[in-house]
């Protein structure tokens, strides 16, 4: 099996020739999003800061809020027939310096796939994509544009990301200002874009709902085809988020 990272070799060789490399201690280190994806999206969408309270109008703040769901057998018709999820893993390779300028260099593996479940309960892959990204601050290196061009020549399986470029999510969190953390956030945003491209390209009937793993970011609020039903399933939320729940006996503040 060929090395999937071979397409990055010419770009990495140019970086090694033109810059001074300060490698990651021991080996490449995986950098994670801090805060995590769902927390970041909550902060950006709601525009709240730690300690802020979100006003929510709920008539009966008690156990009646929970809806009992009956199981649906394979013989019954399912409306949730498409499932979409993505993954982004970002690894810090080291720092590159040129004169008094420097930038961290990351490699990220991103991918997304949609699974289709038919009425018999059988599943198959409806559509899948994956990509390997090279990420650093292009403007910090005089040879940055050359590296970007080499990545473009490597083919569509590879991509270059300038970590200083803007995106709707990375710029909305404090961690996005740190170059190391920003790279992980930028890679995650590229994964989210890939997820949406797959979601938009699925051949779905009006009664076939799409279930997405994670919250619905701003990318799903714009330009979505009318009638294409979808929903997001969130397993975690911003831990500092508080709600002002209004009831018959006044308001009560609760957290997640």
Inform me whether the pLDDT recorded for 229 exceeds 70: yes
User: What's the average model confidence in pLDDT over 214-225?
Assistant: 67
**Predicted TM-score (pTM) of this structure:** 0.76
Q: What is the mean pLDDT of residues 1-9?
A: 88
> Can you tell me whether residue 164 is helix, strand or coil?
coil
What pLDDT is attached to residue 69?
A: 78
240, pLDDT greater than 80: no
For residue 84, give its domain range.
Answer: 6-255
pLDDT attached to residue 57:
46
Strand 101-117 with 123-136, pairing: antiparallel
Q: How far apart are CA 105 and CA 225, in angstroms?
A: 37
* CA dihedral sign, ordered 66, 72, 77, 80: positive
In a domain, 87, yes or no: yes
**Could you tell me which residue, 45 or 191, shows the higher pLDDT?**
191
Q: Residue 151: what pLDDT?
A: 96
Are the C-beta atoms of residues 176 and 185 closer than 8 Å to each other? yes
Quick one: pLDDT at residue 12?
93
Is the model's pLDDT at 109 over the cut of 90?
yes
Count, in order, helices (H) and strands (E) of the chain. 4, 11
Question: SS3 for 173?
Answer: coil
Q: Structural domain tally of the chain?
A: 1
* Residue 51 confidence (pLDDT) above 50: yes
In a domain, 1, yes or no: no
pLDDT for residue 44? 56
């Amino acid at each position: 099996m060929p090395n999937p990272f071979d397409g990055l070799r010419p770009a990495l060789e140019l970086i090694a020739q033109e810059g001074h490399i300060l490698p990651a201690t021991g080996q490449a280190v995986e950098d994670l999003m801090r805060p995590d994806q769902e927390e970041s999206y909550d902060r950006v969408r709601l525009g709240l800061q730690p300690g802020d309270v979100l006003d929510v109008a709920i008539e009966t703040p008690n156990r009646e809020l929970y809806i009992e769901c009956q199981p649906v057998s394979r013989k019954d018709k399912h409306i949730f027939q498409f499932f979409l999820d993505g993954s982004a893993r970002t690894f810090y390779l080291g720092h590159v310096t040129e004169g008094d300028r420097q930038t961290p260099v990351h490699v990220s593996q991103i991918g997304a796939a949609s699974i289709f479940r038919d009425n018999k309960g059988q599943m198959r892959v409806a559509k899948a994509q994956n990509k390997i990204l090279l990420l650093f601050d292009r403007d910090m290196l005089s040879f940055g544009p050359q590296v970007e061009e080499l990545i473009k020549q490597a083919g569509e399986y590879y991509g270059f990301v300038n970590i200083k470029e803007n995106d709707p999510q990375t710029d909305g969190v404090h961690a996005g200002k740190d170059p190391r953390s920003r790279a992980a956030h930028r890679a995650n945003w590229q994964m989210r874009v890939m997820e949406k491209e797959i979601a938009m390209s699925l051949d779905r009937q009006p009664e076939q709902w799409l279930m997405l793993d994670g919250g619905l970011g701003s990318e799903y609020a714009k330009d979505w085809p009318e009638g294409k039903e979808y929903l997001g399933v969130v397993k975690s939320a911003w831990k500092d988020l508080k709600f002002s729940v209004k009831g018959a006996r006044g308001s009560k503040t609760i957290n997640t």
